[in-house]
A and B are shown apart, each in its own frame.
Chain A
């Protein structure tokens, strides 16, 4: 059944794919968010901060545009408290720098480039995330 949730997933995905492809075609760069954010913070030698800053600012603008159109799409239902957010943020920050990418850089751009490293990374972080959710929700240890 073509419900709105499925349609918005498909159209949202097409927009993500189009953004990554356009960015590569025009600027020749990978739309990997952890890389762009991390390099904005720590790569101060180069003059690359303007496009990194405008790309990340665009993410926020895109969020606001969709929420202005349909407020329910901007809903953020938090799944962990402050401590969980801090632990998760530390792991995501450290892990994406160590593994050179996240869902966007490896999962979309890397696979689109047919990079073996990105296939390996994407399979690994998907599996790790699925196991983490299984452990947190169904092992009985944390619930």
Chain B
């Protein structure tokens, strides 16, 4: 059942990204280009998404558990640290270069544009690099603590 729900939610999410124009890098960069001929339309995407999801999520959290699972799966960290902010900076720079973020990039893979595939493969490589680096530093910590 949960994979089916995920399929439905993913489809709705992908349709929303496409309908709103987030899958077109020209529109995204037009929104980010505040010094140029700024196109504020995409601000309405986030505003509308939050106008619905913010009250909905607050309502959901009043229930002890989700409908189809035993608990909510939310990040436990609360500290705003350098890792969070530096990661966000790197992501923002990449977003500003290509006009693609992960959701729209994956959704528009379906268009079969080679450059989008290139972006997604590079994104997977970037994730792998971070993954390896984190595993190596975890190993070093374990070695340092004598285990």
A residues adjacent to B (C-beta < 8 A): 5-6, 8-31, 33-34, 37-38, 41-42, 50-67, 73-82, 84-100, 102-104, 106-109, 111-117, 120-122, 124-134, 136-138
Expressed in whole angstroms, the Cα–Cα distance for A77 and B93 within the complex equals 19
Are B17 and A59 within 8 A (Cβ)? yes
Chain B interface extent, by class: 35 or more
Are A20 and B15 within 8 A (Cβ)? no
Q: Which residues of A contact B87 (CB under 8 A)?
A: 94-100, 121
Expressed in whole angstroms, the Cα–Cα distance for A77 and B122 within the complex equals 19
Residue of B nearest to A98 (CB): B87
Are B53 and A109 within 8 A (Cβ)? yes
A–B complex contacts, Cβ < 8 Å, 24 sampled: A5-B41, A10-B48, A12-B22, A19-B12, A28-B72, A29-B69, A33-B101, A33-B106, A37-B102, A37-B124, A37-B127, A53-B3, A54-B4, A59-B11, A79-B26, A85-B122, A92-B126, A99-B84, A102-B101, A108-B46, A117-B78, A125-B95, A128-B92, A130-B32
Interface centre among A74, A103, A106, A131 (most CB of B within 10 A): A103
Expressed in whole angstroms, the Cα–Cα distance for A114 and B74 within the complex equals 12
Expressed in whole angstroms, the Cα–Cα distance for A60 and B14 within the complex equals 6
